[in-house]
Amino acid sequence: MAKITVETIREMKARGEKIASLTAYDFPMARLLDEAGVPLLLVGDSLGMVVLGYPDTTHVTMADMEHHVRAVARAQPNALLAADLPIHSYDTPEQALDSARRLVAAGAEAVKAEGGRAIAAQVRAIVGAGIPFLGHLGMLPQHVLEEGGYKIKGRREEEHQALLADADALVAAGAFAVVLELVTPPVAKELTARLPIPTIGIGSGPDCDGQILVTHDLIGLFPWFTPKHVTPLFAAGAGVRQAAQLWREAMAKPAGGGGV
């Protein structure tokens, strides 16, 4: 199978082929998802919650991201491998480019950051250096503290217009695709029809060009919390718990059956 590239992802939109994307944070998961044929893998800063135990993504550092990108890259996936720029690693165009280069050096083939018009200069710097850029609009997890939670975007007209302007800015700056997180479905549908680049939704309805999920949510590997937009297809967490319990109980049994 041919290596998936940015052009492959763009061509999938042109063909009307849905783009599947999942998160990967380590070597075995990256191999498994790649063997399943997932074309776009993201080392997301969501690793802060589902791997590192933080309450949100604002605690994730560049060192954390580099560590996990290296692990995933060692799987040498056929999928396109993107990685999140963590909070405060792209405050200026110069910093954004330096951070993007660090993730590429760790093995990423594209980088993602949150925002539209506010980071247009950063996107241009990254794309101008030959590094593919994946946008992220709607609910921005790195802003969860200042926004007071995870809120659906696009319901109010000012949010609607801001999303359109931000999406246009990302296209103009050279983004190859954009993630739409918790965007109200009618607006996500409008953006998908409007933009020449693929939209990849998460909690934004069925009309985006593709969908992305946190793998731990999809397979039930973080059973203590499941987002409303996810229906787990497997109970991996329960399976791990049961396997450990069965092993512990078997280990505790006497080796022989003889008595006194």
What is the tens place of the pLDDT at every residue in 211-237? 999 999 999 999 999 999 999 999 999
238 C-beta neighbours (distance < 10 Å), count: 12
Whole-number pLDDT of residue 1: 75
What class has domain 6-235? alpha beta
Per-residue burial over 193-203, b if 16 or more Cβ lie within 10 Å, else e, is: eebebbbbbbb
> pLDDT class for 169, splitting at 50, 70, 90?
very high
pLDDT at 70 over 70: yes
Distance CA 222, CA 185 (A): 26
Distance CA 27, CA 31 (A): 6
Whole-number pLDDT of residue 256: 61
116 C-beta neighbours (distance < 10 Å), count: 24
pLDDT tens-digit map of 26-68: 999 999 999 999 999 999 999 999 999 999 999 999 999 999 9
Are the beta carbons of 30 and 40 closer than 8 angstroms?
Answer: no
Whole-number pLDDT of residue 148: 84
pLDDT at 145 over 60: yes
Please give the C-alpha separations between residue 109 and each of 4, 38, 79, 150, in angstroms, as whole numbers: 10, 15, 10, 29
Which residues are marked as active site? 181
Domain ranges of the chain: 6-235
First to last CA, the chain: 64
What would the mean pLDDT of 158-183 be, rounded to a whole number? Answer: 98
To the nearest 10 degrees (0 to 180), the angle between helices 62-73 and 93-106 is 30
Distance CA 52, CA 90 (A): 22
> pLDDT class for 260, splitting at 50, 70, 90?
very low
